[in-house]
Chains A and B, each alone.
Chain A
Amino acid sequence: MKLGLAIDLDTCVGCHACATACKQWNTSGTIGPLTDTNPYGKNPNGAWLNRIRTFEVGESPQSKTVNMPLSCMHCEDAACVTVCPTGASYKRDEDGIVLIDQDRCMGCNLCAWACPYGARELDPGSGTMKKCTLCVDRIYDEQLPESERQPACVITCPTNSRVFGDFDDPESEVSKLHKQRDGKPLMPELGYNPVNTYLPPREPIQRPQGGKVLGKVKQIVNRIIYR
């Protein structure tokens, strides 16, 4: 299995719900707590496993606002695992999830340096590295109804822009989306083979232009509707 996420850059509205749901679940999950320092003060800080950036793509006025959530890509060639001196960072053979053993981590930051996606953050409380677990403590939990055995960020996304699944299975939704929508990896030139895929925004639909008279009628109708 090669578990990961397909993230739809077309429909993501940048609401940060995935980031807060992630923080809420994982702060009491297997790698928790996710400590905050000065949470209600002037400069709040703390470990987050998911961050959303907003970019403007293209030249104005044809530009598009793209919200880009970034969490661990669960790379196939994960450099963060290779550089780890204590063996705290590991990649699971069975499903490809990259995890950190909190009892082994010495907080040297080297894995965060090796990660190009900023997916690893040092917990200011425990002094150990924290990262996305793909909600490993949810997706295999047989106490949960099957529809809820998904990462917290995926369940919470109001626009279904995050899809979770197995990229090794060509029939899975993520594989189909990746193929149909021509999903893209981020920074592929570094050679880490990230598993998560980003579905590019769809091209704007070219509306057929009507004749001159029809155009005029449309214009009038539009104006009436607008009022």
Chain B
Amino acid sequence: MHPAFSVLIFTVTAGAGYGLLGWLSANELFTWWALSIGMQISIGTIAMVLISIGLSASTWHLANPKNAWRSFSCFRTSWLSREAVFAILLYPVAAMYAAAIYFQWESVSIWAGLCLLFSFIIVFVTAMIYASLKTIRQWHHPLVPILYLLFAAMSGGLAWAFLLAWNDLELGLLIPVLGALVAFTTLTKLSYFWLFKVPGGSSIQTATSFLKQKVRILDAGHSAPSFLNNEFIYDVASVKLLRMRWLMLSTTFVIPFGLLYWLPNTLSLALAFVIMMAGLLTERWLFFAEARHVVRLLHGQQRV
């Protein structure tokens, strides 16, 4: 699949935003750290800014954005529509949460709970846009939403740790918890790679209905690349894919993990967050570049 840069920015940035908002609301519910009103509101604002950057990036990807408002209409059937609806609904909920913090309402924990729930739902629903597509084996798997949720919790958690450290708060258990989260996510991502090591599912035989014979393409029927080639047939040298995997594993997991353990101070946490965001962009790029749509079979690939 062709990795559209706007979609990479969207899922990574908004993912971190929802993660950060999730940590902030969870802290309200469980009061792990006592934060000042100003600090809570600034962290919430940072999260909403990240989310808004991501959501606006997602609209660059639309070829006909003037109809984007219609995407709220198919809530019952379409995951993309659900994503749009929840993403917009979060704004009034977050505003009520901010008001509840500022005016110290009794209901603040209800709004925090709603924000936590919405953040979780939105990340899950975004991942389901991909996981619901049966045409792409690498996406149509329960690990996809699990990984999206883990990435959001991990990157948002790192931003949270940095913001706490910046305000001279004791991090305490947060560092080992984040370390465990990073380690667990690494294992999950590695098992995802392992699962899709060998091509499977549909083949050129099922795509052409000649189930028992050898089939090979003679002519794809066009003299220049079409929409289908540009969208679905994104070929990268396998050496480059392998290098990107190493780059992704080191920047998303290994370096932030090392920085967390050896130098847990404000600067290193900021650095870890920035490096992890870059790593997550690589991860999302790989998520697209390594996904093989079944249309490739009609263009001569034997298996996906």
Contacts and interface: CB of A to CB of B under 8 A. Distances in A.
A184 interface: yes
Interface stretch (B11-19, B129-137, B182-190): B129-137
Interface in B101-154: 129, 132-136
B173 interface: no
Interface stretch (B223-231, B239-247, B273-281): B223-231
A45 B81 CA distance: 30
A106 B62 contact: yes
Interface string A163-196: 0000000000000000000001111111100000
B232 interface: yes
Interface stretch (B68-76, B191-199, B260-268): B68-76
Contact of B63 (A65, A70, A127): A127
Contact of A113 (B133, B204, B222): B133
Interface residues of B, number: 56
A53 interface: yes
B62 A107 contact: yes
Interface in A68-122: 68, 70, 79, 81-88, 103-110, 112-118, 121-122
A58 B78 CA distance: 41
Contacts of B217: 53-56
A60 to B, nearest CB: 9
Contact of A190 (B221, B294, B298): B294
B178 to A, nearest CB: 34
Q: Tell me whether chain A's interface is mostly helix, strand or loop, or mixed.
A: loop
A121 B71 CA distance: 19
Nearest to B201: A189
A28 interface: no
Interface residues of A, number: 65
Contacts of B293: 113
A133 interface: no
Contacts of A115: 135
Contacts of B220: 53
B226 A48 contact: yes
B84 A85 contact: yes
Given A79-B134, A106-B62, A106-B70, A47 B78 contact: no
Contacts of B68: 106
B289 to A, nearest CB: 15
B104 to A, nearest CB: 39
Nearest to A113: B133
Contacts of A122: 63, 227, 231
Given A47-B227, A108-B80, A113-B293, A186 B232 contact: no
Interface of B: 1, 61-68, 70-71, 73-74, 77-81, 84, 129, 132-136, 201-202, 204, 206-210, 213-228, 231-232, 293-295, 298-299
Interface of A: 9, 14, 16, 19, 42-48, 51-59, 63, 65-66, 68, 70, 79, 81-88, 103-110, 112-118, 121-122, 124, 126-128, 184-191, 198, 200
7 closest Cβ pairs, A-B complex? A107-B63, A127-B63, A85-B81, A127-B64, A184-B209, A107-B64, A86-B70
